Structures are given as C-alpha cells and as structure tokens.
C-alpha cells in the first residue's frame, strides 16, 4: 500500500469520528456571528459518515438537525494530523452555519441562546 493511502486511512480512522460537536455562534443584530467565550454556549451534534474515499480527499455525509449534506473534504498530505483535524472542524462549522443561514434560521439560533440563558440556573 502506498504511503499516501496509508496516511489517508490513518486520518479517516483516527480523526473523522462518527459524532462531532461544534459550537453554534451567537447571531448578532448586524448580521455578524459571534463566538461565545464564556457563559451559555450551544453545541450542535453532527453525525459523519464516510461515503467515498478518493486519492487525497473523502466524501462525507453530514447529518445534523433536520439536514443531510454531502461535503468533499480535502486531506493535504503535507500537513500534520492536528492541523487536518482543525481544518475539518472549521469546515463542519462553516457548513452548519451556512445551512442555517441559507434556510433563514438565524433568529431560531438566537432564540435557542435566549432559552438556554433563561434555563441556565
């Protein structure tokens, strides 16, 4: 087996987990998203399934909330596993945020944060 394929298999086995949690950003009034550093933080569970394995990429099926998305994730051979994991997490967060925004659900996320703050204590 080629070194490149061994590295791709290693990344798939060790970094692409079946269930991942990402932090939902707090939507601001000006259209910006804010990363919450302290206080109430909401997370979204994402179920990940590997659909296809390519030479330097994988096709992932992402299942979260009421959505199913397919995303191709490029795995650079010259980068460390930690950096690849960080890029995967960023890509997942970006897909979730774009999906919610494209479906007009920014206000719903804001309501989830308001409810979580009220039920915090």
* pLDDT tens per residue across span 38-74: 778 888 999 999 999 988 899 999 999 889 999 999 9
- Domain holding 101, by residue range, is 3-118
Count up the domains in the chain and report the number. 1
d(CA 23, CA 37): 10
Q: For the whole prediction, is pTM greater than 0.95?
A: no
Expressed in percent and rounded to 5, the helix, strand and coil fractions of the chain are 40, 30, 30
Q: What is the average per-residue pLDDT within 63-86?
A: 91
- Nearest CA to 56 out of 72, 71, 75, 32 is that of 75
| pLDDT score, position 121 | 60
């Amino acid at each position: 087996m080629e070194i490149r394929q061994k590295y791709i298999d290693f990344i798939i086995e060790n970094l692409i987990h079946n269930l991942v949690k990402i932090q939902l950003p707090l939507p601001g009034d000006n259209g910006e998203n804010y990363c919450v550093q302290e206080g109430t933080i909401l997370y979204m569970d994402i179920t990940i399934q590997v659909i296809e394995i390519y030479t330097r990429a994988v096709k992932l099926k992402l299942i979260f909330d009421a959505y199913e998305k397919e995303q191709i994730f490029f795995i650079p051979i010259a980068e460390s596993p930690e950096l690849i994991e960080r890029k995967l997490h960023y890509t997942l967060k970006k897909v979730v945020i774009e999906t919610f925004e494209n479906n007009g659900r920014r206000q719903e996320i804001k309501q989830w944060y308001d409810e979580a703050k009220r039920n915090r204590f």
